[in-house]
Structure 1
């Protein structure tokens, strides 16, 4: 089977046994690809590693990102790629919902910590932030860990889903993974959420 020109590595929170996480992963777009209107139950954080990207919201506003920047979207906030089509770029994302049952499971967080995170992102001004120095290696390591885990234990380079509200992956997807691999990805996710919240607060 011919490998896709674009790279999509999507990992469900259920596969990480992290109820807090809806899904997360890495996208590498080399050619334009359709990305139409959709929304998520949780907050979505997007970090642009390379290139440029733009997103549109149903109220007509637009958010543009360049390499080294990140921004967030609120729960159930409908959005799409600008004009419904992606541009060449590399990005990571994490979608998380602090209100789900057992959200603290397999994280470093307490319920109070998750309330703090939600508060940091609740004020929607669609701000674009420059990734601080401590965050950049975490994002790079997260991307490498997600790609490695996905490539070894999931079914290849899967097409990007336009509707992210479908069923989550099997909870035993990584049962054959070496013990540190899943724990390492969980660790990166928690650290990234903390660092990003600090930056949002500073902004």
Structure 2
């Protein structure tokens, strides 16, 4: 068992984004006292809050206006999703580290599952990052193809990262909420449902993308057949 490294910053990455608050600043006082776990650097971490705040880095809010930078950067939402995933990865590493420090209190099979889920999410995100066109290529292209690729990669990334967030909440629920170590059950449920709504929306978009790609592939085969006969 080992900790998972953060997603590497590649050529498409931008400067770190400012953290946006998704919830009231005094939410801990509303839901209950925070549970702080010891991080790898010995700093206390509120893992539940970190999982929630990760969503605020890449999920759009009703009424939130796009900035000029967002409009000029087609890949901005994908990059925000990477930032969110890295926050989730840090939270996962704290949970893994906690299990390593107290193996007698933790189901090691579930910890191994958490490690594998983290690595799987990173693997898919690397694949999506590799296929994502650059902002420059998208903006300079006369075709809608690069825009479609960016839209698909972004929705797929948001789907994978939101699934990852939900998995972390499931693990956290079993180990800290149900055991009464953390009494912020309502807080966990509220934001778990928010992630599930994102997952549902992204699945709808991915389904539409899949239909389009199937139709495009069928049309391409027909065109290739005709071209061979000319």
TM over 0.5: no
Structure with the larger RCO, 1 or 2 (CA within 8 Å, 6+ apart) = 1
Q: Is the helix fraction higher in 1 or 2?
A: 2
Q: Which has the larger radius of gyration?
A: 2
Q: Is the strand fraction higher in 1 or 2?
A: 1
> TM-score, length-normalised on structure 1?
0.32
